[in-house]
Amino acid sequence: MGGTLAKALTDAAPPKAMDRMRRGPHIPLAARADMVTRYSAVFLGSIDKALVVEESERWQNAGEWLAALQRRNTVNQGFSMSDRSARTPLASNKKIKPMHWILAGCVILGLGAWAMIYLFVV
């Protein structure tokens, strides 16, 4: 999903993970001046986190990504998903209903579709 959103925003696919490992780090969207003026740092940082090469440092599921966006969590390069003490559960002692997952997926897909339409219309 991070790759899809990055392509929707930049009109170019991000480099493949193996290319990023060999040729050096990918320039994060949150560090690009053209992106920072158009989108929030939290949104761009969340996409950058989805593109991290190390799997354990990416979002582990859509609900976690959505929760971070909803609480406007500051996502930066220093934050690691392996630090379990920094994680906040989505719901305390409650099961997440399937409808929440469906809504989260629709929100993320809707953002991607909106970005694609915006890029081609404007």
User: Which pTM value belongs to this model?
Assistant: 0.55
CB burial of residue 71 (10 Å; 0-12, 13-18, 19+): exposed
Helix axes 62-70, 41-50, angle to 10 degrees: 160
Q: Which residue has the higher pLDDT, 65 or 121?
A: 65
Q: Rounded to whole angstroms, how far apart are CA atoms 102 and 106?
A: 6
What are the extents of the domains in the chain?
2-121
Tokens of 23: 């040729």
Average pLDDT over residues 35-53: 87
Mean pLDDT, rounded, of the chain? 75
Residue 77 banded pLDDT, cuts 50, 70, 90: very low
What is the predicted pLDDT for the residue at 90? 46
Average pLDDT over residues 81-104: 56
| Cβ proximity of 78 and 49 under 8 Å | no
Helix axes 2-10, 41-50, angle to 10 degrees: 130
Tokens of 97: 């209903």
